[in-house]
Structure formats: C-alpha cells, structure tokens
Amino acid sequence: MVSIARKNLLEDVPRFLVAQAGIMFAVALVTLQTGIFNGFVNSTIQLTANSNADIWVASDTLVQLELSLPIPVAELIATREVEGVEQAEGLIFSGAQWYPNNGEMSRVRLVGFDPNGELFAPDGLVRGSVRDLSEPYTAIVDEADRDALGVPDIGGEAQVNSFATTVVGFTRGNTAMVSNAFTFVSLASANAYTTAGQQSSISCELPTSGAVDLECTNTFTRDPLDNARRDAPPAPSRLVASDLISYILVRAEPGQDIAALKQRLVESLPGTVAYTQQEIIDLTVDYWKQRTSIGFVLGMGAVVGIVVGVVVVSQILYSSVSDHLKEFGTLKAIGASSRQIYGIIIEQALWMAVLGYLPSMAACLGVAQWVGTSQGIEIAIAPLTAVGVFGLTIAMCIGSAIFAIQKVNHVDPALVFKA
C-alpha cells in the first residue's frame, strides 16, 4: 500500500510540485503571521523585561505600559516610607524629538532611569556601559535603530528636544514594532528633555476697518535657548518633589506579602495603582490583543494561508484519485477493504504535508533570523508554534483528502472490466 501512495504522489512531478508550493505557501503564511504577532507582543513588553522590580506603581489612569499620565516625584519619596518597601526608583517614559546631525528628524521614546540603581537597566547591552549615562545628556540606543536615528557609532551626536546629546552605547533586542525607537537616558537627563520643549506665542492685531473681531496669529516656535543649549547645555538638575515621572519601581523586603504591600502602596499614594511585573505585562498584552486590530489583521492573513493550502491540496488529491479510479476499482475487485483504500489517500496526504512543511519551516526560520539581524524586528517562532503549525498542516492535508475519499466511495469494482 505504501508503494501505491508514493507512486500516485510522484507519478506527475509538475502536479506534485504545484501541490507542495501551495502547502509551503500556507505553512509560511501561518508561521510568519503567528511569529510576527508573537514578536510584536514581546516587543510591547520589552521595557518591562528590562526591570527586576516586584511592583510597578503608576497613575490610576494607566491603560497600558505606554499610555498613562505622570505622577509627581513626591509619590516616589512617599513610597520609600511605606512599610515593606526595600527600594524604590523612578522611571520616566515619554516621547521626544530626535534631530540627527545628518538626516531627517524622528520621534523617539525616552526611557529615563537611575544609572546607579538596581531595579532597571536595558537588556542586551553590546557596547558601552550603563554607568556612562551618569554623564549629562548621553543616551544608549538599539543597534537596529542606528540608521534611522543617524548615529553611525558611539560618540555620535544628535539633538534631543532642546539639548545636544551624545550616544554612549548600543543595545540589541530593544526595539518595538509599533513604538518609536527606545532611547535610554538617565532620569535627570530625561527630566531635562521633557521639561525644555517648545513655546507658543499668540500675537493679535487691532482691525484696520469696521471688523469687530481681533485678528490673531498663533506662532509655534522652537525654544530660543536651543542654540545656547547645543553649544554649552547646563547640567540637568536633580529631580525635586514637583517633577513628574511615569512609574515607581518597587522592590519588596524579603518575606513580604506582595499582595498586602500593593494594598498598602495604593492606600498611601492616592490616585495610583500598583501591579506586579506579570500583571502589567498581562495588562499590556491584553490591550494590544483586545483593543486594537493588529491581532485580527495578522489572524486574517493566517486564515488566508490555510484556505489557499486546503484548496490546492484538495484539487491535487481529487485529480489524482480521478486519474486512478480504475486502479482503485481493481483493488476493490481483488478484495481490498474501503479502509485500505482510504489509507492510501490519507498516506498520500501525509507525505504531502511532511514534504511541504519541512522546507517551508526551514525557510521561515531563515527569514526570521535575517529580519532579526538586519532589521532588529523579532519574528518569534517558538517550538510550540512550530509544532502547532505542523499539526495544522497535517489536519489541512487530511481534511483535503476527505474530498477525494468521497469520490472513491462511489467507485464500482466492475469499472475495471469495462472497455
């Protein structure tokens, strides 16, 4: 029976290659779409992975990691006095304009933290040192963003909002698909960047004739101190109680009940919420999955791949069975059971699934490696994903074989004796 399945499969090589191309397309589309979605989810929680805090404290307006109103530094000072808190550090997460010396300006996401702290540090540091951020107006960016930010190497300069900034290091793996480039800076520098921005002025002129309304012009200008700051920027000052931060990272004392500590923090800091690291990860992932259309769009692509695979495989198997009806009639005439006949068709479908899956998955892994290396974009093809896609491929091919089996059900053994 095995030889019959292989003979039917390889008898018409062009048709076999067409079938394998359809299966490979379906496997690649499902794998890459799933990998892109998983990589996207991982990128949205990348900042959280850079922290080893037990609890994140934020404004009670928090929607997800990148969407929350700031809280004053006074809350950070108060946090350190809460029973059960061993250490607390501030984190600033804000947008800024990046003006390279050569190239177009772009938007970046400032991540301000204490370079001498213990609760946050960028993962994947490949060049430079976090301690270098203690120098005023210095930054660490990801290697994948070097070209976009116009930073060829360490020592490269750019203007962030109103201040000249020097790049002192590079990371690998700190990129986000939907967010602007992450730029790691010290807490003091981040505060200086965010508080020194642009100014708006409104000038009004009296009407020259009988008009009754004032004619006003709203002019949006760069901070007049920009040039001075680029030449000799003043050192950023230490944060004071009225300054704003995005999060408070908390490490609990050994043996502390985390749930009880969260409750004490919320009671001591009105207008805030407290989450464990895993809770804020889940909050962010749920936001992107449920409140945006990204998951739906990528899922639709995977569905299209499955439909294409089913249609192609069904057509090939159906045509193969139609071309060998007399052979199947002969098998029935000499006593082959329906189960044995079905086994030939299903085995043929399984061979198609395996021979289509293996090269396609190898190609997907190669694409994921290339994209990650050249673009810094993660296409996360986990072992569980690969196994799941393999199971889906088998189910797709066997499901397609059912259409061909229906035709065999109506084969009359007497067909073999007809002229």
- pLDDT, tens digit, 9 for 90 and up, residues 162-208: 888 889 989 887 777 767 888 999 998 888 888 875 443 333 343 33
Comparison of pLDDT for 287 and 335, the residue scoring more: 287
Averaged confidence pLDDT in the chain = 78
- Tell whether the model's pLDDT for residue 381 goes beyond 70: yes
Q: Assess whether 256 and 394 both reside in one domain.
A: no
Asked if the structure places residue 360 within a domain, the reply is yes
Q: Assess whether 241 and 356 both reside in one domain.
A: no
Comparison of pLDDT for 247 and 104, the residue scoring more: 247
**H or E element in which residue 146 lies:** helix 146-149
Asked if the structure places residue 72 within a domain, the reply is yes
Asked if the structure places residue 54 within a domain, the reply is no
Q: Assess whether 38 and 65 both reside in one domain.
A: no
Q: What would the DSSP string read from start to end of 210-255?
A: S--S-EEEEEEEE-TTHHHHHHSPPPPPPP-TTSEESEEEEEEPTT
pTM: 0.71
Q: Assess whether 354 and 397 both reside in one domain.
A: yes
- Tell whether the model's pLDDT for residue 27 goes beyond 90: no
- Tell whether the model's pLDDT for residue 325 goes beyond 70: no
- Tell whether the model's pLDDT for residue 267 goes beyond 80: yes
Comparison of pLDDT for 263 and 49, the residue scoring more: 263
Q: Assess whether 72 and 6 both reside in one domain.
A: no
Q: Assess whether 299 and 262 both reside in one domain.
A: no
Asked if the structure places residue 154 within a domain, the reply is yes
Q: Assess whether 339 and 198 both reside in one domain.
A: no
**H or E element in which residue 171 lies:** strand 163-171
Q: Assess whether 247 and 390 both reside in one domain.
A: no
Structural domain for 299, as ranges: 2-43+293-417
What is the reported pLDDT for 122? Answer: 86
Q: Assess whether 195 and 137 both reside in one domain.
A: yes
Q: Assess whether 186 and 305 both reside in one domain.
A: no
Asked if the structure places residue 49 within a domain, the reply is no
What is the reported pLDDT for 412? Answer: 55
> Could you give the number of structural domains in the chain?
2
Q: Assess whether 67 and 29 both reside in one domain.
A: no
pLDDT category, 407, cuts 50, 70, 90? Answer: low
Task: Quote the radius of gyration of the chain (alpha carbons, Å).
Answer: 31
